[in-house]
Amino acid sequence: MVPSMSLILTNRVGQPESYTLQVFEKTGGYQSVKKLFSLQPNQVIDEVKNSGLRGRGGAGFSAGLKWSFVPQDTGKPVYLCVNADESEPGTFKDRLLLEDDPHQLIEGIIIACYAIRSHTAYIYIRGEFDLPCQRIRSAVAEAYAKGYLGKNIFKSGYDLDVTIHRGAGAYICGEETALLESLEGKKGQPRIKPPFPAVVGLFGSPTVINNVETLSALPFIINHGAAAYRRFGTEKSPGTKLFSVSGHVNKPGVLEKPLGYPLKDLIEKDCGGVLGGKRLKAVVPGGSSVPVLNAQDVETVKLDYESLMQHGSMLGSGGVIVLHEGVDMLWALRNLSRFYAHESCGQCTPCREGSGWVDKILVRFLREGGTSADIELLKDISNNMMGKTICVLADALAMPVLSYLKKFPEDFAAHFRGKTAQAQMHVL
């Protein structure tokens, strides 16, 4: 039985007191649990595998497959870590789910834990998220009070503890192994892989790290089955995805769309078009780390893993940043280089040194003008950073640099020395 609703994740968003247990249960919340406990954990994994649900944090790895890597014979506890460290610039969809539908997330946590045979889950939530943290805290408290969490949940014989763990200001903790380090009371410095967290994760135990949005999709999949989930989206990118739209659009916000939805429609139809009736210049489609698209790309690209890849970019976190014709792409790139230089954990040489270097070159370029040699240098530094480090933060800076240079060379040329008048164009 597939409900007539067109949405999977955001049905309760905007409803009064949607974050309370009462409203949640009135609107079909915790319905999947009964079915859940009638299934074997492996059946749950299979169902999720069949649904084609891919991790919504950015990497897009099959959720069910990730679960199946967890060994069950280590004699150690298995952990679930909920990645609620949403920090990718341009992304604010997990915040919405935490604020407006925290019980849906808890229901998803119950499903995931049961599937991987975990009795302990940690929700790692970014330190700045005060309201989302309050909401999830009270939701967890409500669930404990009702016997939905704790010992013998839903009288199923299954025990599950959920602990909320606040971050303290570090983008890198969204990287799953950095998140584990941070949870263990250390600096958030990504770990060498292998071993992968599924085998050696939190406190040395098998661990699954799932994004808030990924987990929030689980109640639907268990309630209605994998096939129902697959009715949304495309063959290779099934389901819906939350798109955080920001920047130069008339109506920014979070939108749930089936994967494969045209980016142009998202901007024009759903978000009221480009701000001030200006011409579209560029779109960052998947959070600040992914390669940028130009207006021509936007005409044809669809919002799914494959189409974005074909256009040289990535779905990433679904953070869609729209830039209109008034934006100087050098200025925009420098804004991001400052971010990555600030957020580099400092562990790997190419990232630690390269991110700051790129940022300094771009600052000089903006202030004093640059040369074509600087352009070549920026490309070379980016290539030297990309794929050379423990995690992909270096790539997350290198990819924007290379793509901005490639797609908007005129914006950089405008800052060549001797052209300082134009360099003032800046933004807006």
Q: Which of 44, 105, 345, 375 lies at the binding interface for other proteins (CB under 8 A)?
A: 345
Which positions from 295 through 314 interact with other proteins, judged by CB under 8 A?
Answer: none
SS3 call for 87: coil
Q: Which of 17, 130, 159, 299 binds other proteins (CB under 8 A)?
A: 130
Burial code (b: 16+ CB inside 10 Å, e: under 16) for 302-327 equals bbbbebbeebbbbbbbbbbbbbbeeb
Cα 253 to its chain centre, rounded Å, is 15
CA dist 343 and 59 (Å) reads: 19
Phi then psi for residue 288, to 5 deg, are -60, -20
Q: Phi and psi at residue 64, in whole multiples of 5°?
A: -65, -40
Q: Which of 139, 107, 132 lies closest to 36, judged by CA?
A: 107
Q: Is 335 in the site for other proteins (CB under 8 A)?
A: yes
Q: Does 145 bind other proteins (CB under 8 A)?
A: no
Our CB check for other proteins shows the closer of 69 and 203 to be 203
Find the shortest distance in angstroms from Cβ 421 to other proteins. 20
172-191: contacts with other proteins (CB under 8 A): 182-188
User: How far apart are CB 418 and other proteins at their closest, in Å?
Assistant: 17
Residues numbered 232 to 251 that lie near other proteins (CB under 8 A) are: 244-248
Q: Does 5 bind other proteins (CB under 8 A)?
A: no
Tell me how far apart the alpha carbons of residues 173 and 299 are, in angstroms, rounded to a whole number.
Answer: 35
Q: Which range touches other proteins (CB under 8 A), out of 86-94, 144-152, 217-225, 407-415?
A: 86-94
| DSSP type of residue 163 | E
Q: Dihedrals φ, ψ of 157, to 5°? A: 90, -5
CB nearer other proteins, residue 312 or residue 356: 356
Query: What is the smallest separation between the CB atom of 148 and other proteins, expressed in angstroms?
Result: 18
Task: Supply the minimum distance, in Å, between the C-beta of residue 133 and other proteins.
Answer: 9
Contact between 408 and other proteins by CB under 8 A: the answer reads: no
Instruction: Name which position in 256, 297, 343, 411 contacts other proteins (CB under 8 A).
Output: 343
Q: Which stretch binds other proteins (CB under 8 A): 47-55, 59-67, 252-260, 409-417?
A: 252-260
288 binds other proteins (CB under 8 A): yes
Work out whether 118 is an interface residue with other proteins (CB under 8 A).
Answer: no
At 406 the three-state DSSP class reads: helix
Tell which positions 354-383 bind other proteins, by CB under 8 A. Answer: 354-357, 360-361, 364, 377
The token duo for 297 is 């790309």
Strands of the sheet containing 280-284, edge to edge, are: 253-258, 240-247, 319-324, 280-284, 293-294
Should residue 131 be labelled a site residue for other proteins when binding is judged by CB under 8 A? yes
